[in-house]
Every structure is written in C-alpha cells, then in structure tokens.
C-alpha cells in the first residue's frame, strides 16, 4: 500500500510531523482534536513505539483519547496532570497575531481549557487556514441546552452592536438531532463573515448566560506550523521571534500511516 496523500492531507501531515519536534522526553502534552491533530497523535504514537518517547498526553476530546490509547500513548486527565508543557492542536482559522477560531470539530471547550493550562500552544494547520481577518469560518459557541433558543435570540441581539458583518446563529445538527459535545452541550455556529474586534467579541459573548465558551482563542497560541501541499512547512514561533521554512520528507516508512483517517 502506498502513502498517497492529497495536497491538503499532505499539508496537514507535514505540519503535524514537524510539530512533534517541539516534544521532548518527559513532557506532558495537550493533544488536540480534528484531522490535523490526529496526524500529530499518530506521529507521536510512532515515536513512543520506536524511540520509547516517554510522554503523558491529555486529550481534548473522547475521539483523541481513543486514538491516543490505541497508539500506546499514556493518557491522563487534566486534573491528574494539572499543568502541561505544551498543547498541539489544529485550528479552523488563524490570523497574523495567532488569534484563532477553533471548534469546527465541536471540541473547542476542552481544547481551550487544555491550551490555557499549557506553557505553550502550537497550532498546526494547512495554509488555507490563514486569514487576514477571522470570521469567514462560523464561530462555534458551546451553549447549555436549557433555553438554547432564548440564548440564540440573545446572541443575535447582542451581535447587532458588534463589529461583525453577519449575525445569524444556527444550531449545529448531527443528522436530524442537535450535535452534542463531550460536555453534553449544544453548539450555536455564528455566521459573522468578518470579525472586526475578536477580543471584544469574545468577552461580550461569554457574558451571555447559557454560553459556556466561544471558539475564539485570543493570546493563547504562540507558534504555528503551516503545512503546504508540496511538503514544505513554515514555522512561526512568536516566543523565539523566528520564522523558518523547511521541507519535510515523506518516507517509505510513513506507509504505517496509510490507514489513518479522521
Ligand atoms: O478545533 C478543532 C476541533 O474542535 C479542530 O482543531 C479544527 O476544527 C481543525 O480541524 P482540522 O484539523 O480537521 O481541519
């Protein structure tokens, strides 16, 4: 079987593979969710298996927890570990200040808690996720099911006074029933088109009763690994103040990943 990736999957894979260079023996690592993060978990699992890399992973979703366990990565809860060296996760959008929209996979609440409890957050993303202004991707709001329609109306009313281009909130569905998060909540997706002031919006949304958390990550991420379809990556490290470009080779031995899907 060959490891034949589409350009977008290759971009995700090389970003994920490169991000594993941030991981050292003995680290406690927040394991993100989504397809790019799943590649990262697979690459870490491979290092655990072949190098004996000694790490503890704190997963940000039940799906990531299942994958990490299957791959032999030692898994713990955030309460067991309390603080993490690093979190590596995907994103739906990122801007030049490394502010993010996350939650396309419905896991942004756990992702935000875990990333905030980490010395560093590294985002891994294909180049299409970079935007001038956040907001084309619908902003997820984790919402308590009780009274959600009233909460939705309040959110839409609040958006009238915000610097955004769209104001519609839609309940995320899973076939014919509401999508339910790992925390038992619903998700309202906000179709804002463009967010003028992400920091202010985040603060205002979190004031509305019934909103548990929103998918804006402000001042949380400090490095991004951007993957391209030709196998190159750009690493922007805000802490180190560096930007580097590298070619990541896909090896024959990477065939072990050929069955991966997420
Ligand atoms: O925030 C997330 C899940 O809640 C994901 O990280 C985000 O949706 C990106 O996913 P993918 O890597 O599959 O494009």
**Comma-separated ranges of CATH 3.40.50.1360 domains in the chain:** 7-130+219-257
- What's the DSSP call for residue 105? T
Give me the CATH topology for the region 7-130+219-257. Answer: Rossmann fold (3.40.50)
| Residue 198 to residue 134: CA distance in whole angstroms | 8
What pLDDT shows up at residue 254? Answer: 81
What pLDDT shows up at residue 1? Answer: 42
Q: Is 90 annotated as a binding residue?
A: yes
What the block records as the tokens of 80 is 């067991």
Contacts 24+ apart (CB under 8 A), 59-63: 59/31, 59/33, 60/30, 60/31, 60/32, 60/33, 60/87, 60/89, 60/107, 60/110, 60/111, 60/114, 61/33, 61/105, 61/106, 61/107, 61/110, 61/111, 61/182, 62/182, 63/33, 63/107, 63/262
Atom of ligand 1 nearest to the CA of 38: 12
**Comma-separated ranges of CATH 3.30.70.260 domains in the chain:** 139-214
What pLDDT shows up at residue 255? Answer: 75
Segments in the chain below pLDDT 50: 1
What pLDDT shows up at residue 193? Answer: 98
Which residue stretches of 52-107 are H helix?
A: 62-70, 78-81
Name which of 93, 88, 92, 91 is nearest 68 in CA terms: 88
CB atoms near residue 156 (< 10 Å):
14
CATH architecture of 139-214: 2-Layer Sandwich (3.30)
Could you tell me the distance, in angstroms and rounded to a whole number, from the CA of residue 181 to the centre of ligand 1? 14
Could you tell me the distance, in angstroms and rounded to a whole number, from the CA of residue 108 to the centre of ligand 1? 9
Q: Is 91 annotated as a binding residue?
A: yes
pTM score of the predicted model: 0.95
Q: Please list the active-site residues.
A: 111
Atom of ligand 1 nearest to the CA of 125: 12
What pLDDT shows up at residue 250? Answer: 85
Q: Indicate whether residue 100 lines ligand 1 (CB < 6 A).
A: no
Q: Indicate whether residue 228 lines ligand 1 (CB < 6 A).
A: no
- The ipTM, to two decimals, is 0.98
Could you tell me the distance, in angstroms and rounded to a whole number, from the CA of residue 124 to the centre of ligand 1? 10
């Amino acid at each position: 079987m060959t490891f034949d990736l589409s350009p977008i999957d290759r971009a995700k894979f090389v970003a994920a593979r490169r991000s594993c260079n941030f991981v050292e023996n003995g680290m406690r690592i927040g394991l993100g969710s989504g397809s790019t993060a799943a590649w990262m978990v697979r690459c870490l699992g491979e290092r655990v298996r072949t190098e004996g890399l000694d790490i503890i992973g704190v997963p940000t979703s039940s799906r990531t927890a299942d994958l990490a366990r299957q791959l032999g990565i030692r898994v713990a809860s955030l309460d067991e570990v309390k603080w993490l060296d690093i979190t590596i996760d995907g994103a739906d959008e990122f801007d030049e200040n490394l502010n993010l929209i996350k939650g396309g996979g419905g896991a942004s609440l756990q992702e935000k808690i875990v990333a905030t409890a980490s010395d560093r957050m590294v985002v891994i993303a294909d180049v299409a996720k970079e935007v001038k202004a956040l907001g084309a991707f619908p902003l997820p709001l984790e919402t308590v099911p009780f009274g959600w329609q009233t909460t939705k109306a309040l959110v839409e009313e609040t958006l009238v006074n915000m610097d955004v281009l769209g104001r519609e909130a839609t309940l995320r569905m899973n076939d014919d029933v509401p999508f339910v998060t790992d925390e038992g909540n619903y998700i309202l997706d906000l179709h804002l088109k463009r967010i003028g002031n992400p920091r202010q919006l985040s603060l205002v949304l979190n004031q509305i009763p019934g909103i548990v958390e929103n998918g804006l990550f402000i001042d949380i991420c400090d490095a991004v690994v951007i993957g391209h379809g030709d196998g190159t990556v750009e690493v922007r490290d805000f802490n180190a103040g560096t930007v580097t470009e590298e070619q990541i080779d896909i090896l024959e031995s990477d065939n072990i990943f050929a069955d991966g899907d997420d």
